[in-house]
Amino acid sequence: MSVPLHFAVKTRLVGLLEELGEGAALPPERTLAKEFGVSRWTMRQAIRELIADGRLRARQGQGTFVATPKLIQPLALVSYTEALRAQGQKPGRELVAFEEIEADELLSEQLGIAVGDPVHRLERVLLADGQPIGLETTYMSVARFPTLRDVLKPEGSLYRCLTDELGVRFGEGEELVETVIATPREADLLKATQSLPMLLLHRTSRDTDGRPIEAVRSLYRGDRVGFRATLRP
Question: Does residue 1 belong to the site contacting DNA (CB under 7 A)?
Answer: yes
70 near its own copies, rule: CB under 8 A: yes
Q: Which one of residues 13, 45, 199, 203 is an interface residue with DNA (CB under 7 A)?
A: 45
Q: Does 222 bind its own copies (CB under 8 A)?
A: yes
The binder of DNA chosen from 12, 40, 90, 228 (CB under 7 A): 40
Contact 66/223 with Cβ under 8 angstroms? no
Q: What Cα–Cα distance (Å) separates residue 47 from each residue in 8, 90, 159?
A: 12, 29, 38
Instruction: Indicate the residue among 158 and 187 with the shorter CB distance to DNA.
Output: 187
Of 162, 160, 174, the closest CA to residue 109 belongs to: 174
Residues whose CB is less than 8 angstroms from the CB of residue 93 and which lie 6 or more positions away in sequence, other chains included: 124, 125, 126, 127, 154, 155, 156
135 within 8 A of 189, measured Cβ to Cβ: yes
CB nearer to its own copies: give 62 or 179.
179
Q: What minimum distance in Å lies between the beta carbon of 185 and DNA?
A: 13
Smallest gap from residue 222 Cβ to DNA (A): 15
Q: Toward DNA, which CB reaches closer, 7 or 170?
A: 7
Residue 159, CA distances (Å) to 30, 43, 147, 164, 170 in order: 48, 44, 15, 8, 9
Query: Could you say whether residue 230 binds its own copies (CB under 8 A)?
Result: yes
- Answer for which of 198, 213, 216, 219 binds its own copies (CB under 8 A) is 198
With contact defined as beta carbons under 8 Å apart, do 52 and 222 qualify?
Answer: yes
Q: Does 60 bind DNA (CB under 7 A)?
A: yes
Residue 205 interacting entry, from DNA, its own copies, none, C-beta within 5 to 8 Å by type: its own copies
Question: Within 10 Å of residue 21's Cβ, how many Cβ atoms?
Answer: 8
- Segment 183-192 long-range contacts (CB within 8 Å, at least 24 positions apart): 186/135, 186/219, 189/96, 189/125, 189/132, 189/135, 190/125, 190/132, 190/133, 190/134, 190/135, 190/219, 190/221, 191/131, 191/132, 192/132, 192/221, 192/223
Interface with DNA (CB under 7 A), residue from 15, 19, 21, 61: 61
Binders in 33-62 for its own copies, by CB under 8 A: 45, 49, 52-54
x-marked contacts with its own copies along 113-152 as a string, rule CB under 8 A: ----------------------------------------
Give φ, ψ of 7 to 5 degrees.
-75, -40
65 near its own copies, judged by CB under 8 A:
no
Least distance to DNA, CB of residue 170, Å: 39
- Contact partner, 58, from its own copies, DNA, none, Cβ < 5-8 Å per class: DNA
Contact set with DNA (CB under 7 A):
1, 4-6, 26, 28-31, 37-42, 44-45, 58-64, 193-195
